[in-house]
Amino acid sequence: MSHPFLADAEALTEELIAIRRDLHMHPELGFEEVRTAGIVADRLNSLGYEVVAGVGKTGVVGLLQGGQPGERTVLLRFDMDALPIDEANDVPYRSQTRGVMHACGHDAHVAIGLGVANVLAKHRDQLPGTIKLMFQPAEEGLGGALAMIADGVLDRIGPPVDRALGLHVSSQHPLGTAAMRIGPMMAAGARFTITVHGKGGHGARPNETVDAVVVAAQIVNMLQTIISRNLDPEDIGVVSVGSIHAGDAGNVIAETATMHGTIRSFTEETKELLRRRVPEVAQMTAVALGATADVEINEGINATVNAEAPTLLMADAARALFGAENVSMDYRTTGGEDFSAVLAQVPGNFFFLGARNDEAGINAPHHNPRFDIDERCLPQGVAILCDGAVRSLKGEGKPWILSG
């Protein structure tokens, strides 16, 4: 399969693997990516990029002005943070920091980003427009994308962005494949906390109490009816209660109970439904049992919505490398991704790059202590993103929202 950037990318394979393994051995949690950001900034500097560090606390932006006339700016985004997980893999590049691990593959994203930086710098003379690289902190639920947007990554640092591209390595998809979807591809998500207020008392005299444990149990069951009875059966939604805490002793009726959970949706209507029904159901169930319930739902993240034109273009770039039969266009997951904050403001594409290898035993899920990737995906990611970025600068994959 011939691909315009595959040779360039493959020439970097050893370097990409070395970068990824170094980062894997030295993982850093969200907003603490000081070492990682330093490596990124140094590398971008040496490649001739204009570098702005400290964007969204530990984020780094790299700007490359192409040598050909062109008014478009394409942003490519790579997240850098690790997770609070103790690595269980016995590999030479095992995490050296106990309790912290690159268990989502963001180490691979940084390596791919630096590979893209390298290849595009090499072809700078032929680029018509501006490349903006966004190395982002704190993707794992801490709001790193929003922090960089607040600091101006889209509009005030370098020219305003016309199109945004990103990828995620995936242990759900075999090496040599890509998966994406036009429209909402990853779910909107928010966290909720329900606090039940009852009346504590002696376990032998329940009639004199309002048992917060019984109320919480009823609320958990009643919440299940939102998906089974309120949601359009053709739509997708999730309501999960992940933790319940109440009481201290077997012979004492608990006065309060606290529950934490998450809601997921793809459409605005379902998002509104879940945000309305979770408090209604919790509060009314509590009242029916003589208690009260406070419900808080955080802002959460948007659904990750791929625009049509850039997604068709990126599918084409992936097909050129993997063949049409290896590029899925109907993939969707209830997982969330904070690149959604960028795609809410700029049309673009996010896709999954296959990194699974069953024969080699590389198939643990993301966020698992045995997560790993087949590193042959690294140059593939570089090649696809470079192709998509350059074709985007040339105006392929319209319509465009031009800056200015």
By CB under 5 A, name the binding residues for Zn ion.
104
End-to-end CA distance of the chain: 39
- What are 60's two structure tokens? 């780094």
Q: What are 64's strand-pairing partners?
A: 131
- What are 331's two structure tokens? 């993939």
Q: How far is the CB of 367 from Zn ion (least distance, A)?
A: 6
Of the two residues 104 and 157, which places its CB atom closer to Zn ion in the complex? 104
Contacts of 247 (CB under 8 A, 6+ apart): 212, 213, 253, 254, 257
Q: How far is the CB of 350 from Zn ion (least distance, A)?
A: 11
Of the two residues 74 and 104, which places its CB atom closer to Zn ion in the complex? 104
Per-residue burial over 82-105, b if 16 or more Cβ lie within 10 Å, else e, is: bbebebebeeebebeeeebbbbbb
Q: How far is the CB of 205 from Zn ion (least distance, A)?
A: 48
Of the two residues 165 and 223, which places its CB atom closer to Zn ion in the complex? 165
Residue 328 contacts residue 367 (beta carbons within 8 Å)? no
Of the two residues 120 and 167, which places its CB atom closer to Zn ion in the complex? 167
Q: How far is the CB of 249 from Zn ion (least distance, A)?
A: 38
Which residue, judged by CB position, is nearest to Zn ion in the bound state? 104
Q: How far is the CB of 116 from Zn ion (least distance, A)?
A: 18
Q: How far is the CB of 140 from Zn ion (least distance, A)?
A: 5
Q: What are 387's strand-pairing partners?
A: none
- Which active-site residues does the annotation give? 81, 139
Of the two residues 3 and 109, which places its CB atom closer to Zn ion in the complex? 109
Of the two residues 172 and 195, which places its CB atom closer to Zn ion in the complex? 172
Q: How far is CA 45 from CA 60, 78, 112, 137, in A?
A: 11, 17, 17, 19
Q: What DSSP string describes 277-310? A: HHHHHHHHHHHHTT-EEEEEE---B--EEE-HHH
Question: In 3-state terms, what secondary structure has residue 221?
Answer: helix
Of the two residues 198 and 300, which places its CB atom closer to Zn ion in the complex? 300
Q: How far is the CB of 306 from Zn ion (least distance, A)?
A: 17
Residue 55 contacts residue 157 (beta carbons within 8 Å)? yes
Of the two residues 186 and 219, which places its CB atom closer to Zn ion in the complex? 186
Closest among 149, 172, 154, 111 to 301, alpha carbons compared: 149
Contacts of 326 (CB under 8 A, 6+ apart): 176, 177, 178, 318, 319, 354
Q: How far is CA 290 from CA 123, 164, 211, 224, 256, in A?
A: 70, 51, 9, 21, 13
Residue 192 contacts residue 262 (beta carbons within 8 Å)? yes
Q: How far is the CB of 250 from Zn ion (least distance, A)?
A: 38
- What are 271's two structure tokens? 């998002």
